[in-house]
Amino acid sequence: MFQMVTNVEDLNQHDALVLGIFEGEPFHEEVEKIDKLLAQQVMKLKRAKKIAKQGQTTVLYTLGNSQVEALYVIGLGKKVESTTESVRETLASVSRQLKEDKISKVAYLVESLASEQVKKHDIAVLIGEALALGTYTVLNYKEKNNEVEVSIEQVALLGEEDLVGAARVGYIYGQGTNRARKLVNTPGNLMTPTDLAEEANELANEHGFEIEVLEREDMEKLGMGALLAVAAGSDQPPKMIVLKYVGDPKSEELVGFVGKGLTFDSGGISIKPRENMHEMKMDMGGAATVLGAMDIIGSIKPKVNVLAVIPSSENLLNGSALKPGDVITSLSGKTIEVRNTDAEGRLILADGITYAKQLGATSLIDVATLTGAVMIALGDCTTGAVTNNNDWMEEVVEASIETDEWIWTFPTYAPYKKMLKSSDVADLNNAPGRLAGSITAGLFIGEFAEETPWVHLDIAGTAWQSKASNLGPLGGTGAMTRTLAQVVINKEK
């Protein structure tokens, strides 16, 4: 898909060339060459302030005066203010326009997009990411028309340095994120725990992962009482899905990802309001993130060992459903009083975390659309985090900075932990109240991580966007997919 080209003359029948213009900066020399062929129309439009506004793309047709049919001129703002985040978003916007314009062959003038802060290598990665993220569409189930969709098939990087590998890595990151998005956006009747297990099996076949899927009978033998309790209200059988990637057979280190796989959440007996309940198909966003990250890891193949554990069920209500006041026994042996059946994610994660430890995980990251409270605290742009190990948390934060996925770490002071023990009949209370709801939910999971280095990521706000953006359409975002993969890849450095 990607290739290097050293000058414009080498471009052969490309439909479009993407080039950047910084505010108040002279044109890149290659832009000047092209502009001369076009009777300096680009410069005239810039002086008239009709192009190159920040984030704006202007399409100029060359009318046979260049090797490309059209120039996609993008405004990058002030060069000193350029960031990977702003460039990614602008390139994603261009990618969407290229797709709408049915462009199949595109070239990028890499140096025209670079700055002191965002080097050429970074630009190549961002081009790959933005091509995947910006062109993603949500599958719909409407009666189809006869229009043939054109996709971008060839991408030329114009420059002296070989940046094909960097662009491919970026594209892999974007595609892994899109895989997570696809899973989140799939309707609940088409994404049951069984369907989720089939998706994991498909991923295992693609990348050669080890895979194990525990059925209800297996869970009963092992004593996974928390997962089974949540699943009791549904006719769909629960699954405990396990994937393992062995990148370094000599190492005893095993990074464990645990993703919440609630394929639909009605709230159970503590039923949710009907408004927007259709969006609860996204309650398996943590599982989707883990599978998307494993897709990236399987493609890049770092020398690190990774375990993915996904407890999966539906949270519905029937005559057998979990009830407020019930006491259940988790896989760890800890007992839990259920005060709220809509606080079910932490229950299935309790057994997921314990099982990951039993399978040898030496560090843990759990990902879950866990609490509405995290949106009150942080909105929909930042993921909330809870940890028992500051060093491990720093590794996760470092990876999130590299991927521009924001994380904020909540405090874990003793009074918060004490709230979890407020049951008179069990070891733990699954819903001690509204105060500090995101913190106590995370710390509940931490009770099962115990001494194993652990980070909890609450993506309830970031896993779903209610309106389209340059980086993607309404629906699942794939939040934290790239960060999880980056955590693993950074261990190779």
Is the distance from CB of 342 to CB of 434 less than 8 angstroms?
Answer: no
**Predicted pLDDT of residue 142:** 85
What string of H, E and C letters represents the secondary structure of 401-421? HHHCCCEEECCCCHHHHHHCC
Cα separation, 399 vs 429, in Å, equals 33
pLDDT at 2 over 80: yes
Q: How far apart are CA 45 and CA 50, in angstroms?
A: 5
- Pairing, β 407-409 against β 305-315: unpaired
User: What band does 123 get if pLDDT is binned at 50, 70 and 90?
Assistant: very high
How large is the average pLDDT for residues 50-65?
85
214-244, pLDDT tens digit by residue?
999 999 999 999 999 999 999 999 999 999 9
Q: Tell me if domain 2-158 and domain 179-490 are identical in fold.
A: no
List pLDDT tens digits, range 318-362: 999 999 999 999 999 999 999 999 999 999 999 999 999 999 999
Supply 439's token pair: 């913190």
Name the residue with tokens 């993407």: 18
Q: Does 427 show up as a binding residue in the annotation?
A: no
The reported pLDDT for the residue numbered 148 is 58
Give 88: exposed, middle or buried? Use CB within 10 Å, 0-12, 13-18, 19+: buried
* pLDDT tens, position by position, 148-163: 566 898 999 998 889 9
- Ligand-binding annotation for 357, yes or no, is no
CA 137 to CA 318: how far, in whole Å? 36
Q: Of 16, 238, 28, 21, whose CA–CA distance to 131 is shortest?
A: 16
CATH number, domain 179-490, options 3.40.630.10, 3.40.50.620, 3.40.1390.10, 3.40.50.300: 3.40.630.10
- pLDDT confidence of residue 490: 98
pLDDT of residue 146: 58
Judge contact between 128 and 84, C-beta under 8 A.
no
Q: 160-214 pLDDT, tens per residue?
A: 889 999 999 999 999 999 999 999 999 999 999 999 999 999 999 999 999 999 9
Q: Give yes or no for residue 488 having a pLDDT over 80.
A: yes
Residue 260 labelled as part of a binding site: yes
Domain boundaries, the chain: 2-158, 179-490
Output the pLDDT for position 147: 60
Q: Report yes or no: 493 and 409 within 8 Å, Cβ to Cβ.
A: no
| pLDDT score for 460 | 98
Architecture label for domain 2-158: 3-Layer(aba) Sandwich (3.40)
Return mean pLDDT, the chain.
94
Of the listed ranges 9-13, 39-43, 317-321, the one predicted with least confidence:
9-13
pLDDT of residue 139: 87
**DSSP-assigned letters across all residues of 109-166:** EGGGG--SSS-HHHHHHHHHHHHHHHT------SPP-SPPPP---EEEEESSS--HHH
Q: What is this structure's pTM? A: 0.96
Confidence category of residue 45, pLDDT binned at 50, 70, 90: confident
Strand pairing category for 255-259 and 363-368? parallel
Residues marked active site are found at 272, 346
For residue 340, the model assigns a pLDDT of: 97
What is the Cα 311 distance to its own chain's centre? 18
Is 265 known as a binding-site position? yes
Whether the Cβ atoms of residue 112 and residue 165 lie closer than 8 Å to each other? no
Task: Give the mean pLDDT of 58-82.
Answer: 90
Would you say residue 249 has pLDDT above 90?
yes
Roughly how many angstroms between the first and final C-alpha of the chain, as a whole number? Answer: 27
Q: How confident is the model at residue 12 (pLDDT cuts 50, 70, 90)?
A: low
* Residue 344 annotated in ligand binding: yes
Name the residue type at position 121: H
| H or E element at residue 487 | helix 481-490
3-class DSSP state of 425: coil
